[in-house]
Homo-oligomer: A and B are copies of this chain.
């Protein structure tokens, strides 16, 4: 699966998905039903199970969530790896630049695979 930088931003663009990441940060390795229950209880979200499942698919495609199957349960783990570089792209640069002649286009936006597993 080819993962682009844009996938991470797209995944983070939804408030429910961000709440899911909050939930996994609070308690890592939850199942789908656990997430549904806690999203409803703690955050007052009324999303259905399928909706949450699709959100988890998006998060997994973006590399922000990894899963582990165990019997009939599927545990979801947050992976903050893709989060680090995406914002430093603009952060660790001087803000007072006034007229620098930049080089060519950088490949920051191009697709970027990840290693297996």
Contact = CB atoms under 8 A, between A and B. Distances in A.
| Interface of A (DSSP majority class) | helix
21 contacts: A6-B18, A9-B13, A10-B13, A12-B13, A18-B109, A19-B109, A25-B90, A26-B100, A26-B102, A27-B97, A27-B98, A27-B99, A27-B100, A27-B102, A28-B98, A42-B102, A42-B105, A43-B105, A44-B105, A80-B91, A83-B87
Given A6-B15, A83-B87, A28 B96 contact: yes
A36 interface: no
Contacts of A109: 15, 18-19
Contacts of A89: 22
Interface of A: 6, 9-10, 12-13, 15, 18-19, 21-22, 25-29, 42-44, 78, 80, 83-84, 86-87, 89-91, 93, 95-100, 102, 104-106, 108-109
